[in-house]
């Protein structure tokens, strides 16, 4: 594996930097820099997606014939690195980075023709209907029923922790179409129009105050059987394919930028004992985190250099998910420490949350205490607690690695 970028790679990175410099408005940069979760403000995120789509860069990971790019794996990595350095917000992952890959791999021609162009433009905006109140990390135990009735399935049950369900007009969901045998059998991957009668979305207020996530209730919701992706009762196969994209995205570029920024802010922070970076415990934790980020980056370089044509990273996506989310948690803990007493002040008005913050009245003068990063620090800390749970808990990921890599 050659860790040096080629001349073509460096030229591409410069092209990306030029694009970001030209297209990122102050509002878009703020939406990226002041995010309190992994999801940007919806309206600004869609504004940014429109700019990317106009350039042909909204979905670089897609197959070329569906609107993707012919970038090399190295260019994909460099694009993400430059995006984060520029402070650009991410596009919502549910459509472009997740269900679109499933559609390209398992969808019918009619499904591809309808959904893929509309995902690119934002006309179709997806949320994910996986977890249920009694089925989270043990996803195969899901029970939301889908009973066949003529040309439709009739859905009853609920989904929970459904991010941006209040913004979405479509959901990709796992439903129980039959019982018996192993829990993974009898599950079907189904696309649901969120405007269908019987769908009710209720917000969940997180510890950060945001209502990014929701519980969605289904009461006699009729969904055409033509909305099944793959085969009826074989949705687990489709779901496993999608989860590789959810877990296996690139973590290192974002973590490196966050760690470097934290080091700069910590260098200016003062404690009663002196400069924060002179605190041996803080300095050693930050140094250890930065070393582990370098290790993760080498792992991602390895995946880049040996990426398969279908873009799947297999079981190594579990390793990336474990390392990426646990490092992110460590950085939020250190940032909270660096923010000091200022970080204990609850001021979401100084940030760009991914959704409405309920039951909060900002100061009438609109001001803030301290710097923007200090206002973001506690909110990111609260949000990042879920990182090692979502997309399959890290304990589950370790079991996957033990089975599929170590053969245990």
Per-domain residue ranges of the chain: 7-91, 126-241, 248-404
246: annotated active-site residue? yes
CATH class of segment(s) 248-404: mainly alpha
Which segments within 56-206 are labelled E, that is strand? 126-129, 145-149, 152-160, 170-176, 187-193, 199-204
Residue 98 DSSP SS3: helix
More confident residue, 148 or 6: 148
- State the angle between helix axes of 42-55 and 109-121 in degrees (0 to 180), rounded to the nearest 10: 110
Measured CA distances, 299 to 134, 287, 316 (Å): 35, 19, 9
Give percent of the chain above pLDDT 90: 63
Q: Is the pLDDT of residue 9 over 60?
A: yes
What residue spans of 122-197 are helical by DSSP H?
A: none
Mean of per-residue pLDDT scores for the chain = 90
Domain 126-241: give its CATH architecture: Beta Barrel (2.40)
Q: Is the pLDDT of residue 50 over 50?
A: yes
Per-residue pLDDT tens digits for 97-145: 999 999 999 999 999 999 999 999 999 999 999 999 988 778 888 999 9
Per-residue pLDDT tens digits for 180-231: 788 889 999 999 999 999 999 999 998 888 899 999 999 999 999 999 999 9
Per-residue pLDDT tens digits for 279-334: 999 999 999 999 999 999 888 877 665 544 444 556 777 888 899 999 999 999 99
In 362-387, which positions are buried (b, 16+ CB within 10 angstroms) versus exposed (e)?
eeeeeebebeebbbbbbbbbbbbebb
Catalytic residue among 80, 244, 246, 384: 246
Q: Which band of pLDDT confidence, cut at 50, 70 and 90, is reported for residue 249? A: low
**Which residues make Cβ contacts (< 8 Å) with residue 108, sequence separation at least 6?**
none
Listed range (162-171, 264-273, 330-339) with the worst mean pLDDT:
264-273
Measured CA distances, 368 to 35, 322, 346, 362, 374 (Å): 16, 35, 10, 9, 10
């Amino acid at each position: 594996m050659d860790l040096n970028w080629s001349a073509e790679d460096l030229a591409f990175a410069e092209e990306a930097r030029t694009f970001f410099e030209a297209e990122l408005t102050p509002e878009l940069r703020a939406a990226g820099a002041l995010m309190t979760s992994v999801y940007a403000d919806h309206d600004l995120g869609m504004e940014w997606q429109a700019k990317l789509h106009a350039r042909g860069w909204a979905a670089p990971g897609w197959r070329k014939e569906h609107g993707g790019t012919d970038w090399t794996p190295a260019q994909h990595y460099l694009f993400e690195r430059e995006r984060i350095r520029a402070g650009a917000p991410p596009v919502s992952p549910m459509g472009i980075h997740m269900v679109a890959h499933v559609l390209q791999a398992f969808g019918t021609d009619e499904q591809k023709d309808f959904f893929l162009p509309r995902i690119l433009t934002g006309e179709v905006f997806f949320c994910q209907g996986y977890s249920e109140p009694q089925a989270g990390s043990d996803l195969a135990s899901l029970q939301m029923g889908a009973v066949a009735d003529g040309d439709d399935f009739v859905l009853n049950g609920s989904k929970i922790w459904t991010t941006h369900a209040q913004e979405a007009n479509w959901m990709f969901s796992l439903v129980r179409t039959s019982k018996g045998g192993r829990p993974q059998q009898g599950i079907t991957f189904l696309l649901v129009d969120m405007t269908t009668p019987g769908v009710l979305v209720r917000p969940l207020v997180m510890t950060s105050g945001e209502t990014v996530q929701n519980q969605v209730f289904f009461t006699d919701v009729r969904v055409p059987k033509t909305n099944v992706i793959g085969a009826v009762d074989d949705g687990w196969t489709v779901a496993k394919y999608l989860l590789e994209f959810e877990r296996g995205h690139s973590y290192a570029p974002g973590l490196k930028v966050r760690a470097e920024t934290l080091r700069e802010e910590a260098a200016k922070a003062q404690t009663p004992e002196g400069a924060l970076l002179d605190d041996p415990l803080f300095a050693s934790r930050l140094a250890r985190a930065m070393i582990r980020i370098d290790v993760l980056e080498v792992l991602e370089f390895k995946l880049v250099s040996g990426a398969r044509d279908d873009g799947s990273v297999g079981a190594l996506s579990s390793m990336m998910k474990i390392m990426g989310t646990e490092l992110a948690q460590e950085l939020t803990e250190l940032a909270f420490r660096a923010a000091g007493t200022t970080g204990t002040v609850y001021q979401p008005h100084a940030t760009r949350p991914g959704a409405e913050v309920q039951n909060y009245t900002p100061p009438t003068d609109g001001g803030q205490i301290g710097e923007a990063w200090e206002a973001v620090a506690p909110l990111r800390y609260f949000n990042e607690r879920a990182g090692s749970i979502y997309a399959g808990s890290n304990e589950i990921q370790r079991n996957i690695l033990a089975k599929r890599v170590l053969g245990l």
